[in-house]
Structure 1
């Protein structure tokens, strides 16, 4: 999942593309890496027996290649048959582990043409997953406390409180990671890291499959190293020329469409907690969740469901239809005064909290990366206007009425500067890229895929559906098209819709 939206806030934004600039340095690690087992990263988790793992050293600051180093976790599953080359995969986020993703893909695709013809490779970007140092800003207890904040009071005092919560989080990131690491966490550095991994693999060119934020990383890499791209598939894209607030409005429009699709499907049942009148779906939803601002609902595990977690759980369910029954169950719990625990579990899934109360670092990395990947306005008036726009784009997510006050996003208060400005992408060359976009994708709206395909002068494959990303998710039309491109660079027919 790309995760893409921050709980209880209207201003969640996916990252925009970094245009890398400056000198190109040789990777810090010249010697071939030592490959071994993957237990160092995956522990006892099941993984295909042919998987091998290693680390690749990269400078924390590419402008100082002899300085402090980070260690990137890398997994490789060799092709089981006649080999075409390496297929590097990034699952998105930013902050999701490519090591985990490729470990799962390796088993699922072992007997497929993809697994037979490509080494499947994933590396965890700096600060992410199993790479070290791992970016962490807060303890598990601090994360629980953060989630308990409704972030819904847009009075002057409420806005001041919300911004103080954001500042405290930002300061903890700075204290824990230091200014150098935090300033170099973004996609500009990750694109150079990706090329260091390519060099460590001994490959002249890469094939690449990027989902969600992985399209940002792939596009940044293709701009910086166009000659090193063999074939690139970008699924679930964003428009790199869009500013952060406009990107958020686009994204929230996508979530509203997905909410409408969910509500229409729910209304087929007479027991739907949103009722059966389409004009009342949003109002009925607010009747269920808005009281949680003042009083969380009791859950069987004793933790309780607050307003921010109800919003988070709802958004998480909108990523795909398979989660809709759990959203209905949670909303029915609120309606009937029974246990709405499925909404809490959906929120836990979004925040990557396990049953023991431990959090992965994905959300800390998500925020830190997006904050240096785009310039966020610091003028409070810009965020008041953003509140107006986002309420119109996604009314199901807006609490109360427009007040004329709104908190600035965490990234507007970030302690290190951004490293890029919005800019359109450039093509790495004809025939090297295809873009896949889902018509009712909640997190990366279809129109953004159309824009990226235009900018890259690449074919667009349109998938009719309500879900986030689609490649190798079981749709025959999409999967055969992508496989033909990766295998033989076969271009999809113009205007293909699946």
Structure 2
């Protein structure tokens, strides 16, 4: 099983403004500051078309079949140091404001590797019910290499991804490192080479986002970032401090934490959520960590048949993690675990499939491959085996007894990023954001994926207002809590923030 790293301008003569319809061309840029040498990108028109030609399966139909959505392609340089060189495209989706338009809200759901176009459509029903939907276009984009953006990051074939899920954990450091080295080589071969992978990180995504801001005609950016999307927001705020109008960062990634600290925080966060699940589950057939560990260990050498497939031990952990993101899905988790106790792994397999981006036809999105590719250029890598052993010991000691992190301590092997054919382009640091207008950070006390303290740290680093949400779920804004939504909507609309940090009770 793979050891994942820790987690040209076209001519146009038409000028159209207003609500886009199929085939409408808008030429609203350049707007705001334009970096030297990038004028043609910042001034490019966007051609908004019907999204339906992008439908390729049932899942994409839910996104691109939305009658209010319009799609476009943004052209950006592969390498911003060589703006006259190769270009790539970034997919963009917009749902227009229903009333008098005041601007655009750009959203990113994180991952990294998750489609922002899908996120925008998923968010639209809640967005349009607020005053935001009357005044702001909702804009989602697929970061470079992800979703419909081209070229795509690709590492494993569908068959290889299925097979990887079924493989038992490797027994030796040499076996782990051989698989990780092979995976890195496949990523380079199937994604277009090392030069493509070298430019897939957050450093370059935020540059694309500034090009998008200008092409949309926005003097300053209004941004909503969830989860790893907070890393994008933080990096944008540092690179383009003067271009920020408003920014909500929800479910924060701590800009000062290294990958090992993030892994420890996530393991503890998911374990805490699992404990909370068991505490409220009075009639579960699998009712505690010990029973669950026993059920998982039974699958390590003997996966549970599910139709023509099988449920592996790693699938169980993945499926459980997927259901722990929100306590609203805990009834589904109970049904899935009850099924496992009775020899039925179908629901857990479905949860794992959804989390890993596998559809009913056996085709995977590139979300997992993209997550690894981005992390390998976003984070400092460990290439020294002594350091790898030290980090493995640190994680093992800090997560002893963790169900999510596994019952066996991690092997002191070099991870995928140690073999990555491109250098890292960023690392944890204190953001330099002098002059940044005050932004809003939202952090949830029981967030399993991005622990609460990370939001506290990010708010301090950005001198931001902190909104604490007391609940068990991952991210909070526009997710059913009126207290959180009222604060966020007022801020995005009118730039008004509470006089001090506050707490909303879930």
TM-score after normalising by structure 1: 0.89
Matched, 1:384 2:389: yes
Matched, 1:221 2:230: no
- Asked if 2 retains the 8 angstrom alpha-carbon contact of 1:218 and 1:232, the reply is yes
Matched, 1:175 2:189: yes
Query: Could you tell me which residue of structure 1 aligns to residue 495 of structure 2?
Result: 489
Question: 1:365 deviation in Å?
Answer: 0.7
Moved more, 447-456 or 134-143: 134-143
Picking from 406, 409, 420, the partner of 2:415 is: 409
- Which aligned pairs between 1:231-380 and structure 2 lie closer than 5 A? 231-266=246-281, 268-269=282-283, 271-274=284-287, 281-299=288-306, 301-336=307-342, 338-380=343-385
- Asked if 1 retains the 8 angstrom alpha-carbon contact of 2:227 and 2:475, the reply is yes
Query: Could you tell me which residue of structure 2 aligns to residue 20 of structure 1?
Result: none
Moved more, 469-478 or 244-253: 244-253
Query: Could you tell me which residue of structure 2 aligns to residue 36 of structure 1?
Result: 49
Distance 2:280 2:338 in 1: 15
Query: Could you tell me which residue of structure 2 aligns to residue 3 of structure 1?
Result: none
Q: Cα gap change, 1:450/1:24 in structure 2, threshold over 3 Å: closer, same or farther?
A: farther
Distance 1:96 1:240 in 2: 20
- Which aligned pairs between 1:31-70 and structure 2 lie closer than 5 A? 31-42=44-55, 44-45=61-62, 47-70=65-88
What SS does the aligned partner of 1:160 have?
A: helix
Question: 1:327 deviation in Å?
Answer: 2.8
- Which aligned pairs between 1:157-168 and structure 2 lie closer than 5 A? 158-168=172-182
Question: 1:398 deviation in Å?
Answer: 4.3
The runs of 5 or more residues in structure 1 that have no matched partner are 1-6, 15-22, 275-280
Distance 2:427 2:5 in 1: 18
For 1:386-422, what per-residue CA distance to the aligned partner results, in whole angstroms no more than 9, with x for missing partners?
Answer: 333334326113444548x433322222221111121
Distance 1:363 1:311 in 2: 16
Distance 1:24 1:383 in 2: 42
Matched, 1:424 2:430: yes
Q: Cα gap change, 1:146/1:8 in structure 2, threshold over 3 Å: closer, same or farther?
A: closer
Moved more, 438-447 or 314-323: 314-323
Matched, 1:208 2:223: yes
Aligned length: 468
Distance 2:246 2:308 in 1: 50
- Which aligned pairs between 1:182-197 and structure 2 lie closer than 5 A? 182-197=197-212
Indicate the RMSD between aligned Cα atoms, in angstroms: 2.1
Picking from 62, 69, 89, the partner of 2:107 is: 89
Q: Cα gap change, 1:346/1:383 in structure 2, threshold over 3 Å: closer, same or farther?
A: farther
Distance 1:425 1:167 in 2: 33
Question: 1:239 deviation in Å?
Answer: 0.9
What SS does the aligned partner of 1:343 have?
A: helix
Query: Could you tell me which residue of structure 2 aligns to residue 102 of structure 1?
Result: 120
- Asked if 1 retains the 8 angstrom alpha-carbon contact of 2:126 and 2:479, the reply is no
Moved more, 182-191 or 286-295: 286-295
Moved more, 254-263 or 392-401: 392-401
For 1:427-455, what per-residue CA distance to the aligned partner results, in whole angstroms no more than 9, with x for missing partners?
Answer: 36354311000001111010000000000
Query: Could you tell me which residue of structure 1 aligns to residue 141 of structure 2?
Result: 123
The runs of 5 or more residues in structure 2 that have no matched partner are 8-34
Bigger RCO (CA 8 Å, 6+ sep): 1
Matched, 1:442 2:444: no
Q: Cα gap change, 1:471/1:400 in structure 2, threshold over 3 Å: closer, same or farther?
A: closer
Q: Cα gap change, 1:330/1:163 in structure 2, threshold over 3 Å: closer, same or farther?
A: farther
Distance 1:430 1:171 in 2: 40
Matched, 1:13 2:13: no
Moved more, 419-428 or 442-451: 419-428
- Asked if 1 retains the 8 angstrom alpha-carbon contact of 2:69 and 2:94, the reply is yes
Moved more, 308-317 or 190-199: 308-317
Question: 1:426 deviation in Å?
Answer: 3.1
Query: Could you tell me which residue of structure 2 aligns to residue 4 of structure 1?
Result: none
- Asked if 2 retains the 8 angstrom alpha-carbon contact of 1:8 and 1:307, the reply is no
